[in-house]
């Protein structure tokens, strides 16, 4: 169905470039998104998803691809786009409402001045991202409940997931990242990342080719020396030296062997046996501790 050039498309794809290169890019992003949705069991038929739209390249790509899948009958859920205006000075508040109205996308625009809270609470010279993210996530959970949604859907892509893994490794002393699917701490909402298999470069090329009205994040993007930027630079250099390394590393996140790590909380090293006794006893895997359930 995705190869049917004559099939109607959602208005979010109207005016798309007709060249072969863009068609290949679009099909790849749609295919990878569909694969992630299916692999991680995201679909609950008839559910309602809150699709979070920041105005960045990633969230525009997410919005377009999800609506394309729904348009073609491959995503049997209701989609509600949501932008949280956090009160940042100079934020172009009319851009997203006008865009969503023009595209005929059901949406909710919410204003919450979390910017002032962040500026008041975070000391001079410290990064804003952690507190800003927590406040944003809390409001999105609230909106999802008010709108009867079962899932909050975010635009994090493959590179975001890799960067978070290395940030936790280098600075947090743990092996964890943002999973494609998790349940929030309250246990009443899913958090989905359908772009988990999609490269950041593809999101950028797609959004640029579609000429979506990109809104930069000036709050945290203006700060120098952020840990995430440092990790991104390391990964960029590795990718430059060995093209394809990002994809290899991401595959490693899907091929975890607890018996070859060192955490006795997820592998029973003390109970490990030799020979026939081990075969009779079976695997030594244990349930993943609750502390890892909401590692977002």
pLDDT in tens, 101-113: 999 999 999 999 8
Instruction: Looking at the structure, tell me whether residues 81 and 167 fall in a common domain.
Output: yes
> Which pLDDT belongs to residue 10?
79
Residue at 5 is within a domain: no
Q: pTM for the whole thing?
A: 0.87
237 C-beta neighbours (distance < 10 Å), count: 11
Find the Cα–Cα–Cα–Cα dihedral 268, 274, 275, 278, rounded to 10°: -20
Instruction: Looking at the structure, tell me whether residues 274 and 219 fall in a common domain.
Output: no
Residue at 158 is within a domain: yes
Among residues 141, 139, 118, 295, the alpha carbon closest in space to that of 220 is found at 118
pLDDT exceeds 60 at position 6: no
> Which residues constitute the domain of residue 274?
258-292
Q: What is the CATH number of the domain that holds 18?
A: 3.40.50.620
The Cα–Cα gap between 27 and 139 comes to 33
> Which pLDDT belongs to residue 293?
44
Instruction: Looking at the structure, tell me whether residues 100 and 210 fall in a common domain.
Output: yes
Residue at 45 is within a domain: yes
Residue at 2 is within a domain: no
Instruction: Looking at the structure, tell me whether residues 169 and 82 fall in a common domain.
Output: yes
Residue at 241 is within a domain: yes
85 C-beta neighbours (distance < 10 Å), count: 18
200 C-beta neighbours (distance < 10 Å), count: 20
Instruction: Looking at the structure, tell me whether residues 191 and 270 fall in a common domain.
Output: no
Instruction: Looking at the structure, tell me whether residues 178 and 37 fall in a common domain.
Output: yes
Instruction: Looking at the structure, tell me whether residues 264 and 128 fall in a common domain.
Output: no
* pLDDT tens readout for residues 84-136: 998 888 889 999 999 999 999 999 999 998 888 888 888 876 777 778 888 99
Residue at 3 is within a domain: no
Instruction: Looking at the structure, tell me whether residues 281 and 233 fall in a common domain.
Output: no
Tokens of 281: 């006893």
Instruction: Looking at the structure, tell me whether residues 187 and 275 fall in a common domain.
Output: no
Instruction: Looking at the structure, tell me whether residues 124 and 265 fall in a common domain.
Output: no
Q: Distance from first CA to last CA of the chain, Å, rounded?
A: 34
Instruction: Looking at the structure, tell me whether residues 235 and 286 fall in a common domain.
Output: no
Instruction: Looking at the structure, tell me whether residues 241 and 264 fall in a common domain.
Output: no
Residue at 1 is within a domain: no
pLDDT exceeds 50 at position 222: no
Among residues 263, 264, 236, 250, the alpha carbon closest in space to that of 175 is found at 263
* pLDDT tens readout for residues 23-77: 999 999 999 999 999 999 999 999 999 999 999 999 999 999 999 999 999 999 9
User: Under DSSP, is residue 157 helix (H, G, I), strand (E, B) or coil?
Assistant: coil
Number of domains comprising the chain: 2
Residue at 165 is within a domain: yes
- Residues whose CB falls within 8 Å of the CB of residue 181, separated by 6 or more in sequence, listed in order: 40, 41, 42, 190, 191, 192, 193
């Amino acid at each position: 169905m995705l190869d049917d050039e004559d099939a109607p498309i959602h208005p979010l794809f109207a005016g798309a470039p007709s060249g072969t290169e863009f068609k290949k890019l679009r099909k790849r992003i749609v295919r990878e998104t569909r694969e992630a949705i299916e692999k991680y069991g995201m679909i609950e038929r008839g559910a309602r998803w809150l699709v979070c739209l920041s105005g960045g390249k990633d969230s525009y790509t997410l919005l377009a691809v999800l609506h394309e899948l729904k348009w073609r009958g491959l995503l049997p859920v209701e989609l509600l786009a949501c932008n949280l205006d956090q009160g940042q000075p100079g934020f172009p508040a009319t851009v997203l409402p006008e865009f969503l109205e023009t595209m005929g996308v059901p949406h909710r625009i919410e204003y919450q001045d979390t910017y002032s809270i962040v500026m008041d609470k975070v000391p001079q010279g410290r990064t804003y991202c952690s507190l800003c993210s927590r406040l944003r996530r809390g409001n999105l959970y609230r909106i999802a409940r008010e709108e009867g949604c079962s899932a909050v859907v975010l635009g994090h892509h493959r590179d975001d997931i890799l960067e978070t893994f290395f940030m936790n490794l280098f600075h947090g002393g743990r092996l964890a990242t943002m999973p494609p699917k998790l349940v929030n701490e309250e246990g009443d909402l899913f958090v989905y990342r359908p772009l988990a298999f999609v490269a950041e470069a593809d999101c950028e090329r797609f959004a640029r080719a579609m000429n979506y009205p990109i809104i930069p994040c000036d709050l945290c993007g203006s700060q120098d020396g952020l840990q995430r930027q440092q990790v991104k630079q390391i990964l960029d250099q590795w990718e430059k030296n060995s093209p394809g390394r990002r994809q290899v590393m991401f595959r490693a996140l899907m091929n975890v062997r607890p018996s070859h790590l060192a955490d006795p909380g997820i592998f029973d090293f003390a109970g490990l046996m030799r020979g026939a006794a081990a075969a009779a006893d079976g695997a030594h895997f244990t349930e993943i501790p609750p502390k890892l359930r909401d590692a977002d």
